[in-house]
Amino acid sequence: TKRIFTFRRGAADRTADAAEALGLKGANLALLAALDLPVPPGFTVSTSAWRQVSAQSDMPAEVRAEISAAIKWLEEVTGRQFDGDCPLLLAIRTSARVPMPGLAETVLDLGLNDRTVERVAAELGDLSFAFRSYGRFIEAFSALVYNVDPADFEEIADDERQLRNWTGDEPRTLEEWRSLIARYLAFVEDEVGEALPQTPLEQLYRAIEACFATWRRPVARTFRLAHGIPENAGVAVTVHAMVFNERDEKSGTGRAISRDLSTGQPRLTGEFTPGARDRSQIGGDGKVLDLRALAHPDQRSLFPGDIEALADHVRRLEAHVGDAVEVTFMVGDSELVLLQSGVAKRTAPEAVRVAVRLVGEGLIDEEEAVLRIDPASLEQLLHPTIEHTDDLLPLGKGMPAAPGAATGEIVFSAEAAQAYAAEGRPVILVRTETFPEDIHGMHVADGVVTIRGGTTSHAAVVARGIGKPCVTGAGWLRINRAEGALYASERVLREGDWITIDGSTGEIIQGRASLRPPGLSGDFASLMDFADAARRMRVRTNAETPSEARAARAFGAEGIGLCRTEHMFFDGNRIQVMREMILATDEAGRRAALDRLLPMQRSDFVELFEIMAGQPVTIRLLDPPLHEFLPKGEGEIEDTARQLGIDRAVLCQRIIALKEMNPMLGHRGVRLAISYPEIVETQARAIFEAAIEAGARAGAAVVPEILLPLVSLRKEVDFVRKRIDQVAATVMAERGWKVDYLVGTMIELPRAAVQADTLAEAADFMSVGTNDLTQTVFGISRDDSANFLATYERQGILGRDPFQSVDVEGVGELIALAVEKARRTRPSIAMGVCGEQGGDPASIDFFERVGIDYVSCSPFRVPIARLAAAQSAI
Ligand code: PEP
Ligand code: MG
């Protein structure tokens, strides 16, 4: 097999897909060379050479012979010679397919020795440069090959400085330089018991061997283990002619990008660092220069190479790659070469902009654009902004640490954040700084403020990761935990007071601002259009409130896939009426309370139907165990007893009676409907009356979909369905108006999945509840899993939290079975997924494969789901 691959402008032994043999850098250089872009000539010693060399203690003779032949070739190409009058100097780099820590960095100026250093000095007319390079080569080579600490050379230099009374930082005369280098070499020999090779070929063999050996360093190995990179993948080494990019005003280094990522337009952007040591000579003060400015005619002279040519090179590379690219380039003696290339790194908004732009320019098609965007990254584009704050008091400005605006009640601990959030209250978590134990609080918070820290502190990094607005470094704020107070200069805010933050500007505002949903137009909308054209699955939303429903529509939801009616009972005085219903001791008492709930439910449903304007709306009957609605804690029990006019002791007794050992497996879901059919009757009546009212107003029929939770038996469906049908008939007769409706069942218990064929005889549609299904298939309580699932993930026992992303082999198998069996009974039955996984891209991919018709997820995940559904369909 071939072990060495040469490259030079216009010709490469191997190109493009060569990363496995040549590593990333080697493959890149080969690609650039093959595209006739300027690269320094050189060769890559491949991973197959690594395999051979690592198997033996000395570099095998045939590998040496091949390297030496490659040097002959390079000598011819460059017109220079190893150890000759016109010395060939080399740069050596490891080149792994995936960059990893621990691998050797770079050895520059290999080929320098006591003879060539003086020839280079003469050739360049620059004694200091040549010797400085030689000194650095000795340091780098000794560090790599002999493990010598570079600081030792510092000491020698300090010593020489004093001994010889140098006038500056480094030697000036030839004598001084020779003396310093001689001491370096003597030190190495002393230290390692052998002389640093003076023969360039020997230097090269040793450097390559040492580069190969860095593959075995423990850090590299740990990295490979963590990232699943096979141990025998190996590493290559690239060798190319030196470019003196740090010598004079005719040299420098930079990074060029083919587009302006902020607009998506094709244009040379990036930066350039001039190579001269005395930077004042070239007008800069050591600062990095902007390539955009340098491309301007009156600044062009500040760039030592041909900037037009650079622009042309990145354009050609972009056309080849079909995406915005970036390159690392060097200029030596005004000659420009490219050293590395890749697709340009970009933020989520930039990625969307560029992809849409590329479609517009005909470089890629719409499906390709869809595939290029990571669905999860859209999260960053979906944040609201502050609408107006005229009537609110600004509290000050910290660091903009994670984008988006949020408004909520102040809490000072993760626990408080969770407690408030559990009641559906939006919160802003305010901390002096955050630690890993605060993450669960950050997850439920709408926004985060920290007094310390900057844009890379823990809070900032975590907040960006989970897409929460965050302001850090709010140093003028003081938290007094004991008082539960936040001091902001002369103002005092308490836990539960409202504040608004803007994580894009750093602003913190007292009070509750109204937020404008994110701008979903322009490139974002175009990308979503591409996605919609490509996907098969529909995307609905889980929503109960009008604002959620409206946000979801703006995000492109195609209906409501789950309206959890219980969430509608926590508001204001509704909870009291609900409690009245629960505490009633007979059916008459329950009916009296339900009659008061009926108009509230009806108006909620009318509003949802109107917002969704003809899109399907799935309303689920009451699901949770009743005790969830009952008062907790002494104070609340006291208040409730007073308000309902019942004896405190009676209330306590009733609470105890409703208490269950395993409420999630207890008296909930369809079981409530069977125990208390009057609940079903009221909810069904509210739904039908609302459908008639909304339908009459809109002049178009509303077809409600009624969903039964926690079903496992066909007869449960029959029982409830019969009540619903009766109510429908009654309401239609009363109003003289016909309503079409569907009755469906959740598939969220294993028995339901297994019996989906029999359930399908009685159900018009089905919706998979992956939260309860995961809970019951695994037997893992969804409310207690946090205590141990993190350990499972850390120990590698579970890859991902199965509540977030579908467990394909277990839960997934049951879902596939349910779809298949249900369709055996009713081939066209609609099958949806409305659990948390409905918004998870990896799960969506699975749902596409098993033939799910639609997913339903929280409003903010709707665009993510649309994109993920499209990707899985392409
Ligand atoms: C589910 O169990 O997946 C579901 C959607 O219902 P809930 O989360 O309300 O139990
Ligand atoms: Mg459920």
Cα of 555 from ligand 1 centre, angstroms: 22
Same domain? 237 vs 259: no
Q: How far apart are CA 375 and CA 370, in angstroms?
A: 9
Which of 544, 745, 748, 857 maximizes ligand 1 atoms within 8 Å of its Cβ, making it the mutation to test the pocket?
A: 748
Cα of 280 from ligand 2 centre, angstroms: 69
User: Residues of 672-700 as b/e, b for ≥16 C-beta within 10 angstroms?
Assistant: bbbebbbbbbbbbbbbbbbbbbbbeeeee
CA-nearest residue for atom 4, ligand 1, is 769
Residue 680 falls within a domain, yes or no? yes
Same domain? 285 vs 400: no
What atom of ligand 1 comes closest to residue 770's alpha carbon?
3
Same domain? 822 vs 697: yes
Specify the number of domains making up the chain. Answer: 4
* CA max distance for the chain: 112
The pLDDT value given to residue 175: 93
Q: How far apart are CA 133 and CA 152, in angstroms?
A: 17
Calculate Rg over the CA atoms of the chain: 35
Same domain? 232 vs 261: no
Phi and psi of 498, rounded to 5°?
A: -85, 135
Same domain? 224 vs 294: no
Which of 623, 672, 749, 837 maximizes ligand 1 atoms within 8 Å of its Cβ, making it the mutation to test the pocket?
A: 623
Report the CATH number at residue 602: 3.20.20.60
What atom of ligand 1 comes closest to residue 836's alpha carbon?
3
Residue 574 falls within a domain, yes or no? no
Same domain? 265 vs 211: no
What atom of ligand 1 comes closest to residue 562's alpha carbon?
5
Report the CATH number at residue 320: 3.30.470.20
The pLDDT value given to residue 519: 64
Tell me the two tokens of residue 569: 């009972």
Report the CATH number at residue 426: 3.50.30.10
Cα of 675 from ligand 2 centre, angstroms: 19
ipTM here: 0.99
Q: Considering every ligand atom, which ligand is closest to the CA of 768? A: 1
Same domain? 468 vs 617: no
Q: How far apart are CA 340 and CA 246, in angstroms?
A: 17
The pLDDT value given to residue 282: 40
Same domain? 205 vs 266: no
Residue 585 falls within a domain, yes or no? no
Residue 103 falls within a domain, yes or no? yes
CA-nearest residue for atom 1, ligand 1, is 769
Which of 712, 804, 834 maximizes ligand 1 atoms within 8 Å of its Cβ, making it the mutation to test the pocket?
A: 834
Residue 800 falls within a domain, yes or no? yes
Residue 647 falls within a domain, yes or no? no
Q: Considering every ligand atom, which ligand is closest to the CA of 566? A: 1
CA-nearest residue for atom 10, ligand 1, is 772
Phi and psi of 317, rounded to 5°?
A: -65, -40
Contact 127, 121 (CB under 8 A): yes
- What element of type H or E holds 218? helix 218-227
Cα of 774 from ligand 2 centre, angstroms: 10
Residue 233 falls within a domain, yes or no? yes
Same domain? 706 vs 730: yes
Name every protein residue with a CB atom under 6 angstroms from any ligand 1 atom. 562, 564, 623, 748, 769-772, 834-835
The pLDDT value given to residue 283: 41
What atom of ligand 1 comes closest to residue 768's alpha carbon?
3
Q: How far apart are CA 486 and CA 471, in angstroms?
A: 15
Domain end point (choices 185, 215, 241) = 241
Annotated binding-site members for Mg(2+): 748, 772
CA-nearest residue for atom 8, ligand 1, is 771
Contact 344, 258 (CB under 8 A): yes
What atom of ligand 1 comes closest to residue 709's alpha carbon?
6
Round to the nearest angstrom and report the end-to-end CA distance of the chain. Answer: 38
Cα dihedral sign, 108-269-8-208: positive
The pLDDT value given to residue 462: 76
Block means of pLDDT (10 residues each) for the chain, length 874 residues?
Answer: 92 78 94 96 96 90 96 97 95 95 92 96 93 96 95 94 88 94 97 96 97 95 89 95 87 93 90 68 58 88 91 96 95 93 88 95 96 88 77 87 91 94 94 82 93 78 77 92 90 95 90 81 93 98 88 93 89 83 91 95 96 96 90 86 90 90 94 96 98 95 97 98 98 96 98 98 97 95 82 86 93 98 98 94 97 93 96 97
The pLDDT value given to residue 15: 59
Residue 221 is part of which domain span?
4-241
Same domain? 677 vs 791: yes
Which residues are tagged catalytic? 458, 834
Same domain? 9 vs 122: yes
Q: Which residue has the tokens 């005909």?
A: 362
The C-alpha angle with vertex 86 and arms to 84 and 91, in degrees rounded to 5, equals: 90
Q: Considering every ligand atom, which ligand is closest to the CA of 803? A: 1
Same domain? 727 vs 861: yes
Phi and psi of 418, rounded to 5°?
A: -70, -40
The pLDDT value given to residue 787: 76
Q: How far apart are CA 82 and CA 200, in angstroms?
A: 6
Report the CATH number at residue 98: 3.30.1490.20
Cα of 770 from ligand 1 centre, angstroms: 7
Cα of 832 from ligand 1 centre, angstroms: 12
Using a 10 angstrom Cβ sphere, with 0-12 exposed, 13-18 middle and 19 or more buried, the burial of residue 774 is: buried
Q: How far apart are CA 208 and CA 197, in angstroms?
A: 14
Domain end point (choices 345, 364, 392) = 345
The pLDDT value given to residue 296: 87
Residue 775 falls within a domain, yes or no? yes
The pLDDT value given to residue 263: 86
Annotated binding-site members for substrate: 564, 620, 748, 769-772
Domain end point (choices 323, 345, 367) = 345
